[in-house]
């Protein structure tokens, strides 16, 4: 059977020992974010995820959502769990207190999201979309829109979506055809069809707020002619309650490979009343606020799935008796040894664990940059955090979701034939994880964003926000012989990343296809280095504490870090060679030959 227990000890290690999250309490508005409060919130959040959400994961997958005459119903237990979730304020953990939120750091919400997605990814999509809608409205909505709608999102009685994709366009949003006609009262009539709309219709909240991309009559062609509109399912009354039905209807739900308990809807807008969010023709600017939030959130989905897959595989490997250890029986009283004695099983488990723990450290670090970018009183510090956040967003989205899928597949392999059978729960993680590599921009698109936008931006300024601190770290630690087994392989991998960056800068400017051909390998190389840096930082702490009261924890941390450095980080050499191979191996085959 699948199992999940929130890894609170490792989370505390990252938050308090590695990152000193309590420093966020020095930022305006976060004064109450002390370690005691942070730990208390996470302990209660863990209980909710383990006891309320995780038990619904398999049943929700088996039942799925149902559609009838425009009405979507979520699986049994979801409505009650959502009510308890919102009553507990979990959905509004980092929302502004001015609108009814709890005003806690965004980074703390990242930790909660990991637990939610590990326990029940389908459930997590509903509050996840609402959080994205809240962020977009808070940053780009008028005061009237914010005062009317943000408190409802903070209550959780109203939820949110983002409506981008249309039948003829996904990634290329410049092809959008949905139209918005201005009315005399300042509202707009929105007409068009949107597909793949997560949480577009459901029975969890009394109203749904759709953020819709559409074109005004005078819109220029392409991406620069798109505006963003808020279109509620039910138009609000003067007293703020949900009123008459708007001209928006769900015409069907998709029958998907995974996340079956998350409603994925076709939404039809028929002269639906909406209001402009932000400036005319500047909708992508506002929508990217939501998309970037969502991309980080999807990366955390991959992290959560990787962890729960590891936990299930580890429990099974301890219990399943098959064969004998290569060095002789370890469990002589039984007919066979547990499969955890076998080197290849350990390889799979350690791959899952080493990647997951590095990803957790990287996710929480970047989550803290969100708070610094929003709250720090020094504009220069805010700008540095914004740069690092922008640079790392495509890396986290792509690498973490690849990791989640890889870990789920390794989990199935550890289980063997039992992993392929539904009752053990592991095959669901494979199916659920697959969409994370696709939605919110495919991982290939993330790689193109990294090499095409982030690397050249401001003559490489974003890149320097990562390269310079890493170089400083390696310089500071090079004289410590105890750190050599971590810093030497990291320095080699960093050198490869620098070489790959130079190669792309030189060849990609000359020929964009060269940059495109290198993009995926470059993003993977960058992620390897970033995760390797996290391991070196964690190892530095563990080395100093391995003889203390929690010796077993820190020695396990060091052993896992050594595995990453010796068995995973060397992949960086292969990625560099693939980058330097150029576009020819990809582009020379004639199209007709495919």
What confidence score (pLDDT) does residue 15 get?
A: 98
pTM metric for this prediction: 0.96
d(Cα 193, Cα 167) in Å, to the nearest integer? 8
What confidence score (pLDDT) does residue 520 get?
A: 98
Q: What is the pLDDT of residues 411-431, one digit of tens each?
A: 999 999 999 999 899 999 999
- Name the catalytic one among 155, 440, 477, 514: 440
What confidence score (pLDDT) does residue 441 get?
A: 92
Q: What is the pLDDT of residues 67-118, one digit of tens each?
A: 999 999 999 999 999 999 999 999 999 999 999 999 999 999 999 999 999 9
d(Cα 208, Cα 200) in Å, to the nearest integer? 8
Average pLDDT value for residue range 204-219: 96
Mean pLDDT of the chain: 96
For residues 103 and 132, the answer to whether their CB atoms sit within 8 Å is: no
Q: Hey, is 161 helix, strand or coil? A: strand
d(Cα 200, Cα 269) in Å, to the nearest integer? 12
Q: What is the pLDDT of residues 138-162, one digit of tens each?
A: 999 999 999 999 999 999 999 999 9
What confidence score (pLDDT) does residue 288 get?
A: 76
Element (H, E) at 143: helix 143-155
As beta bridge partners, residue 225 has none
Average pLDDT value for residue range 191-204: 97
C-alpha closest to that of 193 among 264, 251, 233: 251
Cβ neighbours, 10 Å, residue 569: 23
Kindly give, in sequence order, each residue whose CB lies less than 8 Å from that of residue 460, ignoring residues fewer than 6 positions away. none
Element (H, E) at 21: none
Q: What is the pLDDT of residues 338-366, one digit of tens each?
A: 999 999 999 999 999 999 999 999 999 99
Element (H, E) at 95: none
C-alpha closest to that of 71 among 243, 249, 192: 249
Q: Is 513 noted as a catalytic residue in this protein? A: no
State the CATH architecture for 54-88+120-281: Beta Barrel (2.40)
d(Cα 480, Cα 483) in Å, to the nearest integer? 6
Q: How confident is the model at residue 517 (pLDDT cuts 50, 70, 90)?
A: very high
Q: Sign of dihedral through CA atoms 16, 536, 294, 72?
A: negative
Kindly give, in sequence order, each residue whose CB lies less than 8 Å from that of residue 286, ignoring residues fewer than 6 positions away. 136, 139, 140, 228, 277, 278
Q: What is the pLDDT of residues 313-328, one digit of tens each?
A: 999 999 999 999 999 9
Q: Is the pLDDT of residue 558 over 90?
A: yes
Element (H, E) at 72: strand 71-73
For residues 58 and 428, the answer to whether their CB atoms sit within 8 Å is: yes
Q: Is the pLDDT of residue 493 over 90?
A: yes
What confidence score (pLDDT) does residue 88 get?
A: 96
The better pLDDT of the pair 104, 292 is held by 104
Distances (CA, A) of 15 to 22, 376, 541: 8, 19, 13
Percent of the chain with pLDDT over 90: 94
For residues 304 and 405, the answer to whether their CB atoms sit within 8 Å is: no
What separation, in Å, do the N-terminal and C-terminal C-alpha atoms of the chain show?
Answer: 43
Distances (CA, A) of 12 to 32, 257, 355, 531: 18, 35, 18, 18
The better pLDDT of the pair 292, 125 is held by 125
Q: Is the pLDDT of residue 172 over 90?
A: no
Overall size of the chain counted in residues? 594
- Parallel/antiparallel/unpaired status of strands 242-245 and 66-68: unpaired
Q: Is the pLDDT of residue 245 over 80?
A: yes
What confidence score (pLDDT) does residue 285 get?
A: 81
What confidence score (pLDDT) does residue 294 get?
A: 85
């Amino acid at each position: 059977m699948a199992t999940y227990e929130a890894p609170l000890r490792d989370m505390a290690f990252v938050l308090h020992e590695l990152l000193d999250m309590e420093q966020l309490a020095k930022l305006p508005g976060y004064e109450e974010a002390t370690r005691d409060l942070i730990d208390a919130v996470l302990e209660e959040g863990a209980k909710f995820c383990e006891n309320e959400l995780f038990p619904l994961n398999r049943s929700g997958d088996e039942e799925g959502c149902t559609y009838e005459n425009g009405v979507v119903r979520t699986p049994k237990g979801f409505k009650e769990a959502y009510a308890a979730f919102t009553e507990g304020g979990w959905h509004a953990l980092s929302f502004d207190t001015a609108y009814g939120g709890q005003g806690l750091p965004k980074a703390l919400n990242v930790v909660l999201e990991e637990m939610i997605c590990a326990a029940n990814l389908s459930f997590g999509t509903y509050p996840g979309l609402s959080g994205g809608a809240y962020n977009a409205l808070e940053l780009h909505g008028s005061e009237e829109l914010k005062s009317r709608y943000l408190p409802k999102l903070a209550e959780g009685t109203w939820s949110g979506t983002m409506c981008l994709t249309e039948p003829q366009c996904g990634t290329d949003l410049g092809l959008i055809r949905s139209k918005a006609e201005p009315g005399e009262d300042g509202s707009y009539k929105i007409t068009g069809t949107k597909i793949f709309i997560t949480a577009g219709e459901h029975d969890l909240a009394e109203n749904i707020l759709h953020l819709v991309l559409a074109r005004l009559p005078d819109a220029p062609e392409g991406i620069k002619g798109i505006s963003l509109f808020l279109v509620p399912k039910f138009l609000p009354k003067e007293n703020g309650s949900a009123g008459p039905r708007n001209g928006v209807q769900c015409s069907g739900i998709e029958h998907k490979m995974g996340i079956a308990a998350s409603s994925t809807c076709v939404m039809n807008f028929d002269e639906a009343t909406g209001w402009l969010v932000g400036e005319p023709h500047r909708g992508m600017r506002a929508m990217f606020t939501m998309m970037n939030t969502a991309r980080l959130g999807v990366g955390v989905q991959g992290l959560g799935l990787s962890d729960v897959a590891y936990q299930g595989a580890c429990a099974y490997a301890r219990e399943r008796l098959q064969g004998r250890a290569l060095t002789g029986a370890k469990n002589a009283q039984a007919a066979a040894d547990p499969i955890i004695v076998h080197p290849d099983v350990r390889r799979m488990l350690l791959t899952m664990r080493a990647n997951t723990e590095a990803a957790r450290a990287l996710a929480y670090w970047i989550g803290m940059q969100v708070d610094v970018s929003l709250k720090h009183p020094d504009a220069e510090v805010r700008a540095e955090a914004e740069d690092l956040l922008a640079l790392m967003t495509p890396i986290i989205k792509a690498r973490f979701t690849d990791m989640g899928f890889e870990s789920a597949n390794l989990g199935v392999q550890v289980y063997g034939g039992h992993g392929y059978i539904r009752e053990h729960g592991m095959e669901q993680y494979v199916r659920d994880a697959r969409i994370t590599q696709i939605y919110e921009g495919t991982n290939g698109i993330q790689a193109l964003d990294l090499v095409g936008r982030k690397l050249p931006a401001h003559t490489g300024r974003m890149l320097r926000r990562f390269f310079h601190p890493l170089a400083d770290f390696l310089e500071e630690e090079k004289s410590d012989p105890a750190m050599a087994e971590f810093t030497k392989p990291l320095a080699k991998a960093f050198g490869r990343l620098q070489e790959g960056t130079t190669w792309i800068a030189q060849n990609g400017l000359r020929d964009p296809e060269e940059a495109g051909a290198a993009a995926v390998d470059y993003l993977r190389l960058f992620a390897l280095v970033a995760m390797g840096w996290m391991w070196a930082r964690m190892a530095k702490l563990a080395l100093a504490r391995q003889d203390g009261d929690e010796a077993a924890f820190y020695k396990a941390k060091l052993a896992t870090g050594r595995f990453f450095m010796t068995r995973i980080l060397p992949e960086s050499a292969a990625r560099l060679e693939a980058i330097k191979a150029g576009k020819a191996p990809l582009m020379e085959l004639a199209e007709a030959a495919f």
